[in-house]
């Protein structure tokens, strides 16, 4: 998944999704607004090889909103945060899903476009 902030990371690899329990043979799935544990695969050397929390801000799989509209983005993207939800970077490139902006106010304030 792409990293949509200016923290220095380029690619994130999702390890687990926070708040998702275990079920035999089922992979944990996360959507827009979910906090995940991720590692940096491409980016600054000081960010790599560490497990850190991130929030998903875009997903390419269509999902249904409560008003019945289906929505999807061009790519999958997330931003690196601390455990309290405060961003490591100071800006977000590209649009951010409304679900993520409503759950995480720090992400909403740093994003350019909320869809």
Q: Could you report the per-residue pLDDT of 35-67, keeping only the tens digit for each?
A: 999 999 999 999 999 999 999 999 999 999 999
Domain of residue 58, residue span? 2-20+29-114
Domain count within the chain: 1
Q: What is the CATH number of the domain that holds 96?
A: 2.40.150.20
Q: Is the pTM of this model over 0.85?
A: yes
Of 52, 59, 69, 58, the residue nearest 14 (C-alpha): 52
pLDDT level of residue 90 (50, 70, 90 thresholds): very high
Whether the Cβ atoms of residue 106 and residue 23 lie closer than 8 Å to each other = no
Q: Rounded distance, CA 36 to CA 89, Å?
A: 17
């Amino acid at each position: 998944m792409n990293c949509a902030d200016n923290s220095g990371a380029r690619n994130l690899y999702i390890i687990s999704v926070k708040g998702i329990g275990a079920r035999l043979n089922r992979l944990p799935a996360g959507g827009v607004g979910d906090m995940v544990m991720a590692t940096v695969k491409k980016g600054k050397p000081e960010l790599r090889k560490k497990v850190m929390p991130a929030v998903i801000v875009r997903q390419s799989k269509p999902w249904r909103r409560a008003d019945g509209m289906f929505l999807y983005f061009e790519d999958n993207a997330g931003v690196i945060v601390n455990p309290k939800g405060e961003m490591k970077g100071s800006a977000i490139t590209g649009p951010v899903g409304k679900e993520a902006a409503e759950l995480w106010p720090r992400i909403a304030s740093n994003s350019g476009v909320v869809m």
